[in-house]
Amino acid sequence: MLFPAFRSIVSPHEYDALGEEFEKKEDEQFGDEGFFKVVDQVAGLEKKLGIYDLAQFTPSPVVSR
């Protein structure tokens, strides 16, 4: 809901410029390809903690006949 609404109140140029600014900040904080490195680190931690597979926490749908 947020991004479509946000996109409707800024121009396409402003939206693209913000995207570039966010990428610049991301590179400054995490380095080149830093986002993907952090995602991999989080996945590794989730595996170590046994919370990687979200299906184990998702209830099965109840099937009624």
pLDDT tens-digit profile of 16-42? 999 999 999 988 988 888 888 889 999
64: pLDDT strictly greater than 90: no
Confidence class of residue 1 from pLDDT cuts 50, 70 and 90?
confident
Nearest to 22 by CA among 30, 4, 55: 30
Read off the pLDDT of each residue in 34-60 and give the average, rounded to a whole number: 90
Count Cβ atoms below 10 Å from residue 24 Cβ, excluding itself. Answer: 10
The domain in which residue 19 lies consists of 2-57
In a domain, 62, yes or no: no
| Number of domains into which the chain is organized | 1
Residue 24 lies in a domain: yes
The DSSP 8-state label assigned to residue 15 in this structure reads: H
The span from the CA of 27 to the CA of 12, in Å, is 23
| Residue 50 domain-assigned (yes or no) | yes
The answer to whether 13 touches 5, Cβ cutoff 8 Å, is no
Domain contains 63:
no
